Amino acid sequence: MSEHVIAATGLTKKYGDLVAVNGVSLSVEKGALYGLLGPNGSGKSTMIKMLTGQIRPTAGTATVLGVDVQQDPVGVRERVGIIPEQETPPSFLTAHEYLQLVGAIRKIPDIEERAAWWFDFMDFGDKKDVLCKDLSRGTRQKLMFAQAFVHQPALALIDEPLINFDPIMQHQVKDYLAEYTKKGNTIFLSTHILEVAEEICSDFVILHKGNILHTGTVASLVAEHRHLDDFFLELVQRTRNV
């Protein structure tokens, strides 16, 4: 039997008259690398914020790792890893102090060893004692990536995690994510980089103006000799023209 790591039913978020997410229902199976795709303003970040209990839906329900997000948002955040959209680590801490803080909050006994692994893996050990406010954008993003995965969560919800990385780091992170799901973990990834999504995602959903335009698997596109970027452009263009 398939195991749903995320199950959302009729999730809706309204900001005044604006419907940012409109009754979205989706399910994500264990081990999936699930791509959350859509043009600017289509509701991707709002979905991630609702699924991680950062904002309350106007309507609808969701369970994440079996926990009801509205009833126990802290319980969800304890279990998952999150990279929020365009978030930066605390300006007044060094990179090392930030990972120590995350280790204390998440009660990770071997945080020093784990932090050392991440500094090495993402090649920023020389910056570990630099205040976050003085780190480059890409290095801050490395730190955000490390904090999301340092406790090796069964599920990570990551919003545009690759955007500030150079091509070498993008490649490395892409491989990391693919390997991570092969171990039975699940990734819910919002991205505009469709080549990356095509390369590593197993499943995807395309949102447009808060509605689901399409859900499918990358394998089914490949079987039809189609590329995700063409498919996306056609679908969104067609929707804009109706």
Ligand X SMILES: Nc1ncnc2c1ncn2[C@@H]1O[C@H](COP(=O)(O)OP(=O)(O)OP(=O)(O)O)[C@@H](O)[C@H]1O
Residues that bind ligand X (CB under 6 A): 15, 18, 20, 38, 40-46, 85
Q: Which stretch of DSSP H or E encloses residue 57?
A: none
Residue 142 C-beta: closest distance to ligand X, Å: 20
Judged by beta carbon, residue 44 or residue 96, the one nearer ligand X is: 44
The number of C-alpha atoms within 13 Å of 241 and in the hemisphere containing its C-beta is: 6
Residue 190 C-beta: closest distance to ligand X, Å: 7
Residue 226 C-beta: closest distance to ligand X, Å: 23
Judged by beta carbon, residue 33 or residue 37, the one nearer ligand X is: 37
Contact residues for 104 (Cβ-Cβ < 8 A; gap 6+): 111
Residue 131 C-beta: closest distance to ligand X, Å: 27
Judged by beta carbon, residue 18 or residue 219, the one nearer ligand X is: 18
The label of the residue with tokens 């545009």 reads 160
Residue 10 C-beta: closest distance to ligand X, Å: 17
Residue 54: how many CB atoms within 10 A of its CB? 16
Residue among 154, 155, 164 at smallest CA distance from 191? 164
Judged by beta carbon, residue 24 or residue 111, the one nearer ligand X is: 24
Residue 15 C-beta: closest distance to ligand X, Å: 3
Judged by beta carbon, residue 12 or residue 202, the one nearer ligand X is: 12
Please give the backbone phi and psi of residue 219, each rounded to the nearest 5 degrees, phi first.
-60, -40
- Helix, strand, coil distribution of the chain in percent, nearest 5: 40, 25, 30
Judged by beta carbon, residue 55 or residue 101, the one nearer ligand X is: 55
Strand order, beta sheet including 59-64? 18-29, 4-15, 59-64, 67-68
Contact residues for 232 (Cβ-Cβ < 8 A; gap 6+): 37, 194, 206
